Amino acid sequence: MSGNGAECVVYLRLRLRISWVLWTMFRRVKSLVICWMACSVLFASGPARGQEGPPPALVRLAKAERKKVRETVALIGTVEPIKESTVASDVAGRIEKIHHRRGDHIKKGDLIAELRATPLLLMVDEARSRVQSADAQRTLAQLTYERSLKLQRSNAVSAQDLDENQGKLDVARADLAAAKARLQQLEQDLADSKICAPFDGAIVEEFTELGEWVIKGGPVVKLTQIDPVKVVVDVPERYYRQTKVGVELTVTIDALPGREYKGRINALIPKANGGARTFPAEIHIGNKKHEIGLGMLARVQLPVGEPKDMICIAQDALIPTGRRYMAYKVVDGKAVPVDLDLVSTFAGMAAVNGPLAPGDEVVVEGNERLRPGQPVRTQ
């Protein structure tokens, strides 16, 4: 009986162990089945989405055109002032008022600073009194001479007395002229005690301070014209003969992306810069909004050579890709990328070399998000 009981216990333990092993294996198989089903769904749905492709992109198109265009050369230059002046004082004196400081934009004739005018006012008053006195002396000498002249006709006055009276009149006239000249000079000095701007511009430097003594000809401020400005570029000698004064061109400023300025070659200096063999050219451009700062880096498209037929597209179609450019041409309703070389730019257009023909439609808006082969629809 005891032997049978021990066998039963062993049997029960064996069944429990087998049941636990089977349950563990079932759970693992169940997990594997679930993973297999999920992977099947993913693999089944993946190719379907790939076959659908990206949705059509909303874009705006423009056609390529054939135009006569001159090839341009890109040159780098610097923005400089056309006029810059050290405004000085025409008279000596002490600075009493300062109306404008460094950085201020002022108009021609605006008051910059004033010298202490009290000493000059007193000198002007004294000079006016001297003019009045000299005028009275001249009037008296004139009357005396005229009286002597009448008496001399009746031999009542000698010729010597007449000559003396003539000399006194001449001296009185000279004294009056000198007094008037002195008064005029002092009045001019009084006016010059107000230091004004000789042209429109901005004050870029100050040389004096309130209460300082300024000598005659001493500097007060440096005034720089900021509208218009000039861009100075160095033209390589091989393009010197092709560069003409008066030619219009396009200028861009690195610090002001997306903006173009129309300029004109105002001067071409016929002397090369040392060993560089380049000739300075000055291009004048407007700066009414005062957004172009002096010293900024500028880029100029200098026209060279004779005009020739070229494919032109809107500049907005170009996408920079290093040293070259790319544009999306629409073929059968899909965006096809084409590599292009930029030849020149003008009036919002770009002359290019590449696989484009007149009438080809290129994307000019919405191209920044396009992918090759993506369907497009126009706005």
Per-residue model confidence (pLDDT) at position 39: 46
**For the chain, counts of helices (H) and of strands (E):** 3, 23
How does 76-111 read in b/e, with b if 16+ C-beta sit within 10 Å? ebebbbbeeeebebebebebeebebeeeeebeeeee
Alpha carbon distance 342, 340 (integer Å): 6
Q: What residue ranges do the domains of the chain occupy?
A: 1-52, 58-71+307-378, 73-82+225-303, 84-222
Per-residue model confidence (pLDDT) at position 24: 64
* Residue 316, phi then psi, degrees to nearest 5: -65, -15
Check pLDDT > 60 for residue 376.
Answer: yes
Nearest to 93 by CA among 137, 123, 129: 123
Check pLDDT > 80 for residue 355.
Answer: yes
73-82+225-303 and 84-222 share one fold:
no
Choose the weakest-confidence range: 16-30, 48-62, 169-183, 295-309. Answer: 16-30
Query: In this predicted model, which residue has the larger pLDDT, 177 or 33?
Result: 177
Calculate what percentage of the chain has a pLDDT beyond 90.
50
Average of per-residue pLDDT values in the chain: 85
Per-residue model confidence (pLDDT) at position 260: 85
* Tens-place pLDDT, residues 20-51: 556 566 566 555 545 445 445 444 444 444 44
Check if the beta carbon of residue 330 is closer than 8 Å to that of residue 336.
yes
The mean pLDDT value for 341-350 works out to: 82
Per-residue model confidence (pLDDT) at position 45: 44
Calculate what percentage of the chain has a pLDDT beyond 70.
86
For 58-71+307-378, the fitting CATH number among 3.40.50.2000, 3.30.300.10, 2.40.420.20, 3.20.20.70 is: 2.40.420.20
Q: pTM score, two decimals? A: 0.61
Per-residue model confidence (pLDDT) at position 22: 61
Query: What is the residue type of 257?
Result: P
* CA dist list (Å): 174 to 133, 179, 329, 378: 13, 9, 90, 91
What is the fold, at CATH topology level, of the domain defined by 84-222?
Answer: OB fold (Dihydrolipoamide Acetyltransferase, E2P) (2.40.50)
Per-residue model confidence (pLDDT) at position 41: 44
For the domain spanning 73-82+225-303, the CATH number is 2.40.30.170
Check if the beta carbon of residue 269 is closer than 8 Å to that of residue 279.
yes
Alpha carbon distance 126, 168 (integer Å): 24
